[in-house]
Amino acid sequence: MSQSMFSNSRKVSSLSKWRDYSMAEAASFVTKNGTIIVCAVSQPYLPFLNNWLISITRQKHQEKVLVIAEDYATLYKINEKWPGHAGFFNFTSRRPRHLLQILELGYSVMYNDVDMVWFGDPFCYLEGNHDVYFSDDMAAVCGFIPAGPDRIPNGRIILQEPDMGAAKSKPREGTL
């Protein structure tokens, strides 16, 4: 597998180029088919970031990725490996506000934690015309989840409180 995405193939003389990007510019750079895959990462989770990106690359979705650095140490490390890459947006600990901003720009958003990997393409499971999808990675720990009108058994995809590892939402007029 080619590692060109993960190499320092682009040379940029300054690490400050990231400051020049607005969220709208970064989002437009990475969107494909109106969808953006977002993760937020801080320094303790940097070792997971490369693995996560490799798993997404294997599913051919790497061009949709927007990484949000949550601290300056992470921001500079990302810029050191991928200098000037518009997909790596500036420092923030305001994850929900940035996700809302992307939705307000009209894009669909899939949020992922970097401590997970993609063994397959998750988009085939996101069918129908729903506003929000959530993945429940705690189903095995919590035990049986009874089926109901708002749940799918076995924790495949369920609509639940937004504190899980993967979520996809799309913009809808008049909703936040």
- Per-range mean pLDDT, top range of 82-86, 111-115, 143-147: 111-115
Q: Mean pLDDT over all residues of the chain? A: 69
Give pLDDT, residue 167: 52
User: Alpha-carbon distance 97 to 84, whole Å?
Assistant: 23
Give pLDDT, residue 60: 93
Q: Residue 28 contacts by C-beta under 8 Å, 6 or more apart in sequence?
A: none
Give pLDDT, residue 20: 59
> DSSP string spanning 68-119?
EESSHHHHHHHHHHSTT-TTEEPP-S-HHHHHHHHHHTT-EEEEE-TT---S
Boundaries of every domain in the chain:
16-127+164-169
The C-alpha torsion from 119 through 154 and 41 to 61, rounded to 10°, is 40
Whether the pLDDT of residue 137 is over 50: the answer is yes
pLDDT in tens, 35-65: 899 888 888 989 899 899 999 999 999 889 9
